[in-house]
Amino acid sequence: MTDSGTIKQATVLVCTTCGVTDVAAGASPAGLLLARGAAVASRHSAADVRVEGVRCLANCSRGPSAAIRCDGAWTYVFGQLDESRDGPALVEGARLLAAAADGLLPWRGRPEVLKRTLIARLPPAGVPGDAVEPEARD
């Protein structure tokens, strides 16, 4: 939430090129189908979630892939998603992230698929890490 108590807008980024090499002529790639499923779920249940297609999330061996992000929050990357089933789960995860006061996607209430398919989480821009010094040599 923002300081005023309103829910922030979250974004679901879906790799629309996932599965391009496995597609029969004239069929849509798995990633595009996943993006469309998320867009339908967003339209029906979450005005605070925007769905965007991106050309590649560089997670090709574990696609279809998607990420959820929100200003001031951690970004979460997921892989091995099911294009016919997991779009609504991404939207629900994005809603949870947007409402999280601490910027972390809560474990409790998170759709099961987002517990099993997490690839990485990245800190918000501007959050410094801990300095690491090289090991001293004798």
- State pLDDT tens for residues 82-105: 999 999 999 999 999 999 999 999
**Separation CA 107–CA 6 (nearest Å):** 21
**Are the beta carbons of 43 and 10 closer than 8 angstroms?**
no
Q: What percent of the chain has pLDDT over 70?
A: 91
**Separation CA 114–CA 123 (nearest Å):** 18
pTM summary value: 0.87
**Separation CA 5–CA 15 (nearest Å):** 32
**Separation CA 134–CA 111 (nearest Å):** 40
Task: Calculate helix-pair angle for 30-45, 87-99, nearest 10 degrees.
Answer: 50
Residue 22 to residues 13, 14, 33, 37, 82, Cα–Cα distance (Å): 21, 17, 13, 19, 14
Predicted confidence at residue 46, as pLDDT, reads 60
Predicted confidence at residue 75, as pLDDT, reads 97
- State pLDDT tens for residues 64-88: 999 999 999 999 999 999 999 999 9
User: Is the model's pLDDT at 2 over the cut of 80?
Assistant: no
